[in-house]
Structure 1
Amino acid sequence: MKFLSQYWRRERRGIASGVCVVAALLAANWGVAAVAPQAWDVTEQRRLTLSPQTQDVLAELQGTVTVTLFAESEVRTARERTFDDSAAMLSDLLKRYKQHARKFDIERVTANDSVAGQRLKQRFPDITAPCVVITYQLPGEEPRHEVLQHEDLAEFHGAPAGRVAGVDFFAEQTVTAALARLAEGQLQVKVCCLTGHGEASLVVEGPDSTRSLSELADYLRMGGVQMELLDLSQATHVPADADVVLLAGPQAEYAASDAAKLETYFKHGGSGLLLLDLVQNHRDGAVVPTGLDRLLRKWGVLLGNDFVVTTTVDNQLSTVVRALPADGDHPLARSMPRASLDFRQARSVRLLPVTAAPTAVCTPLLLSPDGPHCWAETDVVSRNVPQWNEGRDLPGPVSLAVAVERTDRTTPAPMLVVVGDAEFATNRGMTGPRQYAAGTFVLRSLHWLAGTKRAMQDIPVRRSRPYQLTGTVQAQRGLVWKTMLFLAALVSTAGATVWTMRRHG
């Protein structure tokens, strides 16, 4: 009994000492956090630190920011589930925003059976759950707002058995860009929409029109883009105050004099968004030249005299192809929505060797799906059923859009975005579920070309990939057994050591 009494006395003293040490550490930690709050980000990609661009935008905000997560009370569809997952990551990000902003509120509003939800819909009729509503209000002014969808926040990469292979989280790009646009107000980007060669016009037509850009013009106007018509065949030059020229689906060849006007504009720092359909002569099916091939070749871009074909799930041929964002770290490619675009009878837009364009660098923006179910058909005249021909046709993935940057300056500057289709930007392409993807692609291309930085493309994407063991299945099983044996040996050694110490203590 005497031995047990001494033993418990020692144990009580040890426990009391341990409790005192833990209490002292907790008190010191609380005191330091209260006096000088500080956090250290030791993650590999600095995931817990806002970019300098975001911190600068937040520091300059003068009004009150309210970010509302607007969703249904129950998750029923795949879209709502994806938004819910994205919103969880966004909530963590917004907490860091709040630490750097003076007036920054975060709220979640239920869309159905909610008074707050009904009020939000009445206040902003353009919102539809699920979405994120960012509101910015200066004293004495009407609130400005922008709406973000789940495609603006993250992209989830699927894996077999319904698992997630990885996540690309780019919400900091889109949220910071939205805040910058709201704080700036209606800073206009002047775009000259070229006419005179059968291009799609700004004349208001029906939703099925493939020759009207009226729906796109309305969408761009809300994004701070001012569009003006310019008949290049009548004008002596492109106005110097034009931020970007938009060339959408010309049906006739550009004369050498008109192409020279564009070349002069580009050489003096101008930029352009060129949407170039494959146009064929109705009599013999011959491809109508654009008149811009020599100019584009000079900067490393090759327009294909072909059209992209794909096979559907029921093994039927189709000229409607999904244009998917290209991988890579190009700032414009990173800022693009991850939703695909629908291109109809699109031509390929490829890169020439670097030596052919010493003053420019080209980067793919949009790609078709992989082969062998997708290719660029070069037999455009015979009008036979398209068939894959090895050595003549171009296998997928086919490049459908490229970005061109001039490199004859200290830092690369945006010059061109060339796309092998124009119909996606017309009223027909801007109607229905693809409106958001098409409109956002054009809007962000124009802002990138104008150099406004309003898309914040230079903020890096935060990529998360699950850790995977390498090696064969047998090697992985061996590693598991070795780990279990090591842990068993460690526990046995610790037990034997304690027993020996007590026996001789």
Structure 2
Amino acid sequence: MPKQKKARRSLVYGSNALVSTLVFLAILVFVALIAQRHPLRVDLTESGEFSLSEQSRKVVESLQEPVTIKAFFATASPQRLKTKDLLETYRYHNKKIRYEFVDPDRRPEVARQYEIRDYGTLVLEGFGRKETVLRADEEAITNALLKLSRKKKKKIYFLTGHGEHSLDEINKVGYSTVKSALEKENYTVEKLNLLQRENVPEDAAVLIVAGPHKPLFPEEVASLEAYVKRGGKVVVFLDPGLDGGLKDFVRSLGIQVGDDMVIDKLSRVFGGSYLMPVVTRYGAHKITEGFNVATFYSEARSVRPVKKPPEGVTVVTLATTSENAWAETDLDRLHRGEASFEEGQDAPGPVPLVVLAAVDTNKLSKSSSTQTAQEKAGREGRDEAGVAHAAETRLPTGYLVVAGDSDFVDNTHFGLSGNGDFFLNTIHFLAEEETLITIEPRKKEGQTLILTQDQARLVFWVPLVLIPALVLAVGLGVYRMRRAQR
């Protein structure tokens, strides 16, 4: 009889344990399913290190169409896990965002399809377009999403009427490849003839003057100058011996084009001509940030900042040759094949080839307004205190980029090394497509914890002595109770 009672008791306890286990597992599965469908993320860091900024959340939550992100990382890359956490954060805020990791070494065909050159590159696809991100951080990804979802296209104008490169020609010197590349980047490309219009259109994001063979009329130059001074962006490509009547215009904004041709011995190493200088040095600017690819220029002239730029103008050299190059000024000897470096006459390397001028239009307009007011006050013999302060209105910064070669992005050279990338980087910056949203990096600030002697004792005794002793006491109590029930 005692044996039967003991067996019955064991059966009851065993059944209860089994049922309890099954119920517990069922609850775990139920909670996991709820968590999968309705995940909850809580960032307990003070700086919000694992959360998106409010700007990013607004952009992500506004996406109405699916976006796929392909992240090209090596399988063993230490940055892969960090990037996965970031992409998962984006997906948490919008399930229309999907991502996958691709190892370029294991799937080279996919890397070739997306023209991947560096590890850590992200390609975002959606809204019928594609954006490539070279660094996997929140600012770059959010800006790419914003550019994908934006319906309005910015316009890039190309000046015509002076023998510039043609956007329609598919021959070696045509610019059809440039046009196609810009359209793939979601720009609208149009031609502009300033002989038929008085001013540059208001909707122009960038105006490009690509190697004019004939000089512009003074009225056209005045239109370009007015456009820059009201915050416009102009890119000018001037080949050796052909300044297009723009030499004085670019000099007035702090850039000087040389009457020379650059010769580079280093280009022979790459299998090119002495007249094709190679650039591997780039200035400190957003256009060239992280850019480490060589660019080649076919028959280029020197372009350098003037020694003393005008007030309100900041000049930056973007691309420079190596020390092996020089700017040859005796073009007749060069054409006879007798050119050599002559100290005191030729400019030694490094030779600058691409220069950017940032024009603070507010300072220029304020200076002009003050000068006009003074002249007016002098004429009328009265105080100028009543002059209207029209210059108080803030104007955008104008930009002028001058390169000493127009062939480096023609149909022959656009795909050569980093030529096309450098050109597109320049256009993105000028069109304000490089950084649409600026996100400040999170600051990780450490905090010093100072304990009193009593607090230090408490920290020692509670977790290291009292809690383990309590657990041990509870275990002994449970053991004695179960033994007494047998």
Q: TM-score normalized by structure 1?
A: 0.62
* 2-structure distance, mates of 1:376, 1:458: 40
Give 1:401 shift: 1.0
SS of corresponding position for 1:382: helix
Evaluate the alpha carbon distance shift between residue 36 and residue 228 of structure 1 in structure 2; reply closer, same or farther with a 3 A threshold: closer
1:206-221 matched pairs, under 5 angstroms: 206=171, 209-210=172-173, 212-221=174-183
1:181-212, CA deviations, whole angstroms, 9 ceiling, x for partnerless residues? 11224x31212211111100112323xx12x1
Number of the residue aligned with 1:291: 245
Evaluate the alpha carbon distance shift between residue 430 and residue 361 of structure 1 in structure 2; reply closer, same or farther with a 3 A threshold: same
Evaluate the alpha carbon distance shift between residue 299 and residue 99 of structure 1 in structure 2; reply closer, same or farther with a 3 A threshold: same
* 2-structure distance, mates of 1:135, 1:429: 27
Give 1:414 shift: 3.7
- Give the gaps of 5 or more residues in structure 2: 1-39, 363-393, 443-486
Whether the 8 Å contact between 1:414 and 1:449 is mirrored in structure 2 is: no
* Greater mean alpha carbon deviation, residues 344-353 or residues 404-413: 404-413
1:67-216 matched pairs, under 5 angstroms: 67-70=69-72, 84=74, 88-89=78-79, 91-101=81-91, 102=93, 103=95, 104-109=97-102, 126-128=113-115, 132=121, 134-137=123-126, 144-147=129-132, 152-153=134-135, 174-185=140-151, 187-206=152-171, 209-210=172-173, 212-216=174-178
1:362-388, CA deviations, whole angstroms, 9 ceiling, x for partnerless residues? 11111112x1x1222222233243322
Letter in 2 for 1:346: A
Give 1:100 shift: 5.0
Matched, 1:394 2:347: yes
SS of corresponding position for 1:443: helix
Number of the residue aligned with 1:438: 419
* 1-structure distance, mates of 2:344, 2:244: 26
1:105-126, CA deviations, whole angstroms, 9 ceiling, x for partnerless residues? 4422467998xx99x79xxx95
Number of the residue aligned with 2:233: 271
1:67-118, CA deviations, whole angstroms, 9 ceiling, x for partnerless residues? 2235xxxxxxxxxxxx64996536523523433551344422467998xx99
SS of corresponding position for 2:278: strand
Give 1:174 shift: 4.6
Whether the 8 Å contact between 2:69 and 2:98 is mirrored in structure 1 is: yes
Whether the 8 Å contact between 2:283 and 2:316 is mirrored in structure 1 is: no
Matched, 1:364 2:317: yes
Q: Of the candidates 220, 224, 234, which is equivalent to residue 262 of structure 1?
A: 224
Whether the 8 Å contact between 2:163 and 2:211 is mirrored in structure 1 is: yes
Number of the residue aligned with 1:21: none
- RMSD value, Cα: 3.8
Evaluate the alpha carbon distance shift between residue 424 and residue 84 of structure 1 in structure 2; reply closer, same or farther with a 3 A threshold: farther
* 1-structure distance, mates of 2:347, 2:53: 41
Whether the 8 Å contact between 2:266 and 2:277 is mirrored in structure 1 is: no
* 2-structure distance, mates of 1:35, 1:181: 27
Number of the residue aligned with 1:418: 402
Number of the residue aligned with 1:236: 198
SS of corresponding position for 1:381: helix
> Larger C-alpha radius of gyration, 1 or 2?
2
Give 1:133 shift: 5.4
- Give the gaps of 5 or more residues in structure 1: 1-33, 71-82, 154-169, 279-286, 463-505
* 2-structure distance, mates of 1:86, 1:393: 52
Q: TM-score normalized by structure 2?
A: 0.64
Letter in 2 for 1:387: S
SS of corresponding position for 1:182: helix
Letter in 1 for 2:296: D
